[in-house]
């Protein structure tokens, strides 16, 4: 089974799924801000990432969702919410579709939609090069941060990538969120859904979210995170936790 870090002992269980650049520890700035009396959070590492780095298997959306559900089963969680960041936001949608009777609510934090992040060939080639080229990786990260913050943040995210995932696995997961499309099944996601978009996110933009998500999920709530880009758990953790837990509490 994939690894996870458990935080809190509250009655409302929440799976947390990380993004492409690094494992679950990208969420660490938020840990001290979490309501651990209200919630129990399980921060997972996918196959090939972090504490699950040596676990073999497929690096696909279906596998990510299946593995996350196995964590919930191991914890004895019959009903739970899911928070997913970026690539993990897409996996959260997949999980909520697969286990629609068990998922209470979904929060997508700068999430890739169910239709995937379809990239033009030249952009795809640039993203692929980010697996082994730090300059390209920095370009991807800086764009997603809105090119407005200290370069130290970009370097922190790049270090997390280096420390937690191999280049070949990183490339596999790129295919998972760019070449997978389960939008035809979107109607099966019926639980409450909150999509949080960073004001300065150069990747998952507000325009894209408002154009795509309501057509997939007519009941979606879209909210903008001020003064944040693609990594609000690092950029504005207190505000992210406040908005996220307010939504989860309303639907627990």
Of 39, 79, 240, 53, which Cα lies nearest the Cα of 160?
53
pLDDT by residue for the chain (252 residues), tens only, comes to 999 999 999 999 999 999 999 999 999 999 999 999 999 999 999 999 999 999 999 999 999 999 999 999 999 999 999 999 999 999 999 999 999 999 999 999 999 999 999 999 999 999 999 999 999 999 999 999 999 999 999 999 999 999 999 999 999 999 999 999 999 999 999 999 999 999 999 999 999 999 999 999 999 999 999 999 999 999 999 999 999 999 999 998
Report the number of distinct structural domains present in the chain: 1
Domain CATH number, residue 191: 3.40.50.1820
Long-range contacts of 202-210, Cβ-Cβ distance < 8 Å, separation of 24 or more: 202/143, 202/144, 202/145, 202/146, 202/147, 202/229, 202/230, 203/110, 203/117, 203/140, 203/143, 203/144, 203/230, 204/86, 204/110, 204/111, 204/112, 204/117, 204/144, 204/230, 209/113
**Residue-range definition of the domain harbouring residue 112:** 4-250
Q: Rounded to whole angstroms, how far apart are CA atoms 53 and 71?
A: 16
The pLDDT score that the predictor gives to residue 252 is: 81
- 27, 16 in Cβ contact below 8 A? yes
């Amino acid at each position: 089974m994939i690894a996870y870090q458990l935080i809190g002992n509250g009655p409302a269980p929440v799976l947390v799924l990380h993004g492409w650049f690094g494992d679950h520890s990208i969420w660490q700035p938020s840990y001290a801000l979490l309501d651990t009396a209200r919630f129990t959070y399980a921060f997972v590492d996918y196959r090939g990432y972090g504490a699950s780095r040596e676990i073999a298997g497929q690096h696909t959306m279906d596998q990510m969702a299946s593995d996350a559900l196995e964590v919930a089963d191991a914890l004895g969680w019959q009903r739970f919410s899911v928070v997913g960041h970026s690539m993990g936001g897409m996996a959260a949608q997949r999980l909520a579709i697969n286990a629609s009777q068990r998922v209470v609510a979904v929060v997508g934090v700068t999430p890739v939609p169910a239709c995937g992040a379809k990239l033009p060939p030249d952009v795809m080639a640039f993203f692929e090069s980010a697996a082994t080229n730090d300059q390209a990786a920095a370009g991807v990260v800086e764009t997603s941060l809105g090119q407005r913050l200290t370069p130290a943040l970009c370097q922190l995210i790049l270090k997390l990538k280096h420390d937690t995932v191999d280049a070949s696995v990183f490339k596999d997961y790129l295919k998972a969120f760019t070449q997978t499309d389960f939008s035809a099944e979107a109607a099966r996601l019926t639980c409450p859904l909150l999509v949080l978009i960073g004001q300065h996110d150069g990747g998952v933009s507000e325009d894209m979210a408002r154009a795509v998500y309501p057509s997939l999920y007519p009941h979606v709530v879209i909210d903008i995170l001020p003064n944040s880009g693609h990594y609000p758990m690092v950029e504005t953790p207190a505000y992210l936790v406040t908005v996220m837990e307010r939504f989860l509490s309303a639907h627990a």
